[in-house]
Structure 1
Amino acid sequence: MNADDDLPPPDAATALQLIQEQRASAARRLEPDARLQYWPWGVAWLVGFGLFFLRFSPDGRVLLRLPDWLPLTVLFVLLAAAAAVQAVAGARAYGQVSGDSARRGRWYGCAWALGSVTVYAVLGRVSGHLPHDLAGLLWSATAVGLTGALHMAGGAIWLDRDLFRLGVWISVINLAGTFAGPGWHALVIAIAGGGGILVAGALARARQRHQP
């Protein structure tokens, strides 16, 4: 070990630079890889909703013969895997963080969980009274709409422009897909939604690498 490492900085400017470098280094260690936060969800939407479009295409067409249960099962499995990956990445990055930031994260997670359970419970009561194609549209459009709204809420809580913009994008394409109708909604969400999340993850990772 060099004895010079124990000496105080020679001037205030050097001390300030050292403090800033240490803060930036700590922030990089605490911030999880953006790819782990975005890409698993993008893959889940791209594959899951893509299978929905292939099996339940517009006007009752079937582009790919699949069991009726398979698209929904694949989507749920991929969503569960994405949630697990994000939870592990977040726990490793924020496990030692306390205070207001940790409290916001816990409350935000509770909003996701309780909001999702409430929405799915209501949809389960209503969708049985609708034709199959409209019931599928109701489920997917409501779930995606909740996702967009919570992304915008998360962006507002942490003043994260990227997260807020992604929430806006998801909300806009969800409206477009809903107006397009059953079948088309799944295609829009698969390509523009899943693809958009993948792009957002790549851009966020690039910004992480270029942080000073």
Structure 2
Amino acid sequence: MNEVDDREPADAAAALRIIQAQQADTAARIGPRVGWFFLIWGAVWLVNGLLYFLAPGPVATWGAVAAVVAGVASSATLGARSGRGIAGGSQRQGLLYGLTWPAVMLGLGVLVGGMAGPLGLTGAQLGVLIPALFAFVAGALYAVSGAVWTYVANFVTGLWIMAVGIASVFVGLPGNALVLGVGVGGALLAVGVWELRR
């Protein structure tokens, strides 16, 4: 600890300045890393959209699986590194938020898979419905996290992703993949670049 840290604050205003300086230091160390999450998932959405638009079928499916696995691995690594030096409620909050994403997305996949047979949905219908649902749910998660943490970029990005998910349904195959890839992926990449520059 340096000399300033060893001294007790002279008054409440001085204590507040110390707290704000420490919060600013933490934000400076952690904040820019948020941009990398946007870039990772923007790239995943863009790659998947282009694959399903240009080469629908097994190539796109395996490519999408590889992109998602790479995204999950990158996010987990980045999340673990971002959490260093954070303890208490903030650490738990970050961990629970990070775990919410895979839980929700896996649950959505199982739900849609379970509904497909009983509802008698065709391959074409599923090809439009499933990606739109994933986009809509991802957008909702972004928007809710933005509302909870008063993080306007997340909130606005979430609303945009939800709107793109809805719009993709009206485009049909294979254009919906391009709409989602460019609309969702492009938005996430733009926000990621903005975060890193800021």
Normalising by the smaller structure, the TM-score range is: 0.7 to 0.9
Q: Distance in 1 between matches of 2:32 and 2:84?
A: 11
Unaligned runs of 5+ in 1: 57-67, 208-212
Check 1:22–1:114 CA distance in 2 against 1; reply closer, same or farther (3 A cut).
closer
How many angstroms does 1:52 deviate by?
0.4
Q: Distance in 1 between matches of 2:150 and 2:170?
A: 31
Q: Distance in 2 between matches of 1:7 and 1:95?
A: 26
TM-score, L = length of structure 1: 0.78
**Residue 74 (structure 2) pairs with residue 97 (structure 1):** no
Please point out which of 115, 128, 139 is paired with 1:126.
115
Q: Distance in 2 between matches of 1:142 and 1:125?
A: 14
Please point out which of 164, 168, 171 is paired with 1:173.
164
Determine what percentage of the aligned residue pairs are the same residue: 32
TM-score, L = length of structure 2: 0.83
Q: Distance in 1 between matches of 2:15 and 2:8?
A: 8
Root mean square deviation of aligned Cα: 2.9
Q: Which segment drifts farther, 26-35 or 116-125?
A: 26-35
1:76 aligns with: 65
Superimposed CA distance per residue, residues 83-124 of structure 1 (whole angstroms, 9 cap, x where no aligned partner): 221221221121332222222223323332332222111211
SS at match of 1:97: coil
Matches within 5 A, 1:173-212: 173-207=164-198
Q: Which has the larger radius of gyration?
A: 1
Paired amino acid for 1:34: V
Q: Is the Cα–Cα contact under 8 Å of residues 31 and 93 in structure 1 kept in the other structure? A: no
How many angstroms does 1:191 deviate by?
1.0
Q: Distance in 2 between matches of 1:18 and 1:118?
A: 44
Check 1:15–1:139 CA distance in 2 against 1; reply closer, same or farther (3 A cut).
closer
Check 1:22–1:183 CA distance in 2 against 1; reply closer, same or farther (3 A cut).
same
**Residue 74 (structure 2) pairs with residue 85 (structure 1):** yes
How many angstroms does 1:157 deviate by?
2.3
Unaligned runs of 5+ in 2: none
